[in-house]
Amino acid sequence: QKEVEQDPGPLSVPEGAIVSLNCTYSNSAFQYFMWYRQYSRKGPELLMYTYSSGNKEDGRFTAQVDKSSKYISLFIRDSQPSDSATYLCAMSAENTGFQKLVFGTGTRLLVSP
Amino acid sequence: AAGVIQSPRHLIKEKRETATLKCYPIPRHDTVYWYQQGPGQDPQFLISFYEKMQSDKGSIPDRFSAQQFSDYHSELNMSSLELGDSALYFCASSQTSGRASEQFFGPGTRLTVL
């Protein structure tokens, strides 16, 4: 079983919809949680960065971390066709000096005009 | 803003050949990381370097080696290439004085082994 589980999708939504992307994890030592956006054949782009539990908002994006449930979410408001990409969650633990990022498999999002 | 630079962007090799991938981190970033992403897979951590010393090691084959130089750029050397080595190889960099685990990725090198 993978340390980080993520539904691969694809998730298809109409433009303007609210998108919810989620990851679950098994390692309670994870403390830093990131969301990356990856367009086809491109490098992952850091979208959101959070530490421990709580919410963080940045423009149309909101990241939530629930460590008690080992569950993280990324919400995208007013989704745009340009948001169509694969979204990867990633996390790290102190026992690796926070060096190694463990990724989910990524969720492919398709936003139609 | 300057980003991580990787070269070459595409590389085609035959089985049993060698390949060298290069990574130039964001200016003032002192740590580099290498990840391998197979088709339809998530990035897998290979190895990381801080101040020219290996700082962590993941699932890197013994056929692969890497190093970081005094100007902080890094090279991933891959020998006896196998078909299964075909993948996207990403380099990421971070600043130790910055936020923990905040890694910025380059555009990747697509390696195809024939």
- List the beta bridge partners of residue B75: B22, B67
**Per-position DSSP letters for A71-101, written without gaps between them:** EEEEEESS--GGG-EEEEEEEEEGGGTT---
Q: Along the 114 residues of chain B, how does pLDDT read in single tens digits?
A: 789 999 999 999 999 999 999 999 999 999 999 999 998 888 999 999 998 999 889 989 999 999 999 999 999 999 999 999 999 999 999 987 777 778 999 999 999 999
Place of tokens 């082994």: B113
CA atoms lying within 13 Å on the CB side of residue A25: 28
Note whether A45 contacts B33, CB cutoff 8 Å. no
Q: Are the beta carbons of A73 and A22 closer than 8 angstroms?
A: yes
Which of B45, B43, B63 shows the shortest CA–CA distance to B54? Answer: B45
| Reported confidence tier of residue A100, pLDDT bands at 50, 70, 90 | confident
Å between B92 CA and nearest CA of chain A: 9
Per DSSP, the three-state class of B84 is helix
CB distance B90–A106 less than 8 Å?
A: no
| pLDDT over 90, % of chain A | 81
Which position has the token pair 């964001």?
B26
Asked if B64 reaches chain A (Cβ–Cβ under 8 Å), the answer is no
Distance CA A85, CA A13 (A): 12
Could you please report the per-residue DSSP string of A38-50?
A: E-TTS--EEEEEE
Structure tokens at A35: 């969301």
Of the partner residues A36, A88, A99, the one whose CB lies closest to the CB of residue B55: A99
Is B107 an 8 Å CB contact of chain A? yes
Phi and psi at residue A96, to the nearest 5°: -110, 20
Most A CBs within 10 Å, among B35, B42, B74, B89, to test the A interface = B42
Cβ within 8 Å, pair A43-B110: no
Q: A1 falls in which pLDDT band (50, 70, 90)?
A: confident
Cα B83 to Cα A15, B6, B7, B14, B15, distances in angstroms = 40, 22, 21, 8, 7
Q: Does B42 touch chain A (CB under 8 A)?
A: yes
B44 and B59 Cβ atoms separated by less than 8 Å: yes
The Cα A24–Cα A104 span in angstroms is 9
> Rounded CA gap, B4 and B108, in Å?
9
Give the residue on B whose Cα is nearest the Cα of A42.
B107
